[in-house]
Amino acid sequence: MRLLVLSDATDASKALVPALEFLDHEVAAAPLEPELAGQDADVVLIDATRNLSAASHACRELSNGDRCPPLLVVVAEAALAALKRSWGFDDWMLPTAQPAEVETRLRLAADRPEATEHSRGVELGELLIDEDTYVVRLRGRPLDLTFREFELLKYLAHHPNRVFTRSQLLQAVWGYDYYGGTRTVDVHIRRLRAKLGAEHAALISTVRGVGYKLDPAGPRAEDAAPTHRP
């Protein structure tokens, strides 16, 4: 796979994502200027670890161009809240991502233009998740969600009625390189329920001894814990 890294850092071809050293890809580097991005790259990696403004500008310019290659933003965890879908990128990852995750994200990004275009959103009753604008609406009212809360709700909504363990949710939403405890999942679930409100908090069910699921019909009494506690 031909990769192009756009970064203002010196020697950024593989230094931006060290895991690339262990993967068999052709990697080139160029300054963080959208007009320098060649169309022959299979995936373009945008360095958002140093200059968020420049990274945002590069993403927007490239995504608005003709035949834009897939864009993968590399961002520090502390700056995740600044990411917006309006930038036009296809996916993101942390610079510390491990080789298996990097390979998966690269291949998914590269395959995306060849796939049949799908709707970029999920609608479950009165809950609408718009992946293009990163907006969640409940009865038409937008919810003020953080980036992680949005990603967690989106992931659950894409798999309604499927039960996930806390470890599975950590891997899917936080990434393979996250070393925090599973308690962070409980905290985010609790915050999501609070923002959904008492009437809709039951959308996210707790399955005792297992984990969580998004149940559009609400939890059954025999398998759900009280909704005010994760």
> Which of 3.40.1440.60, 3.30.390.10, 1.10.760.10, 3.40.50.2300 would CATH assign to domain 2-114?
3.40.50.2300
| Range name among 44-48, 137-141, 172-176 with the lowest pLDDT average | 172-176
Token code pair at residue 40? 């022959």
DSSP strand E in the chain: where? 2-6, 26-30, 43-47, 71-74, 91-93, 121-124, 127-130, 135-138, 141-143, 164-165, 204-207, 211-214
| Range name among 100-109, 171-180, 204-213 with the lowest pLDDT average | 171-180
| Start and end residues for every CATH 3.40.50.2300 domain found in the chain | 2-114
Look-up of token digits 């967690």: 152
178-184: average pLDDT:
76
Residues 179 and 158: their CA atoms lie apart, in Å, by 25
| Start and end residues for every CATH 1.10.10.10 domain found in the chain | 121-214
16-26: average pLDDT:
93
- CB contact set of 15 (below 8 Å; sequence gap of 6+): 9
Look-up of token digits 């479950």: 124
Question: Could you tell me whether strands 91-93 and 121-124 are parallel, antiparallel, or unpaired per DSSP bridges?
Answer: unpaired
Instruction: Confirm if 89 and 64 have CB atoms less than 8 A apart.
Output: no
Using 50, 70 and 90 to split pLDDT, how confident is the model at 12?
confident
Task: Kindly write down the DSSP assignment for every residue of 34-78, as one continuous string.
Answer: GGG--TT-SEEEEE-SS-HHHHHHHHHHHHTSTTPPPEEEE--GG
pLDDT tens-digit map of 157-171:
999 999 999 999 988
Whether the pLDDT of residue 102 is over 90: the answer is yes
Nearest to 147 by CA among 59, 81, 75, 228: 81
Look-up of token digits 């491990």: 98
Residues 91 and 38: their CA atoms lie apart, in Å, by 19
121-214 — its CATH code? Answer: 1.10.10.10
Instruction: Confirm if 72 and 105 have CB atoms less than 8 A apart.
Output: yes
- CB contact set of 57 (below 8 Å; sequence gap of 6+): 34
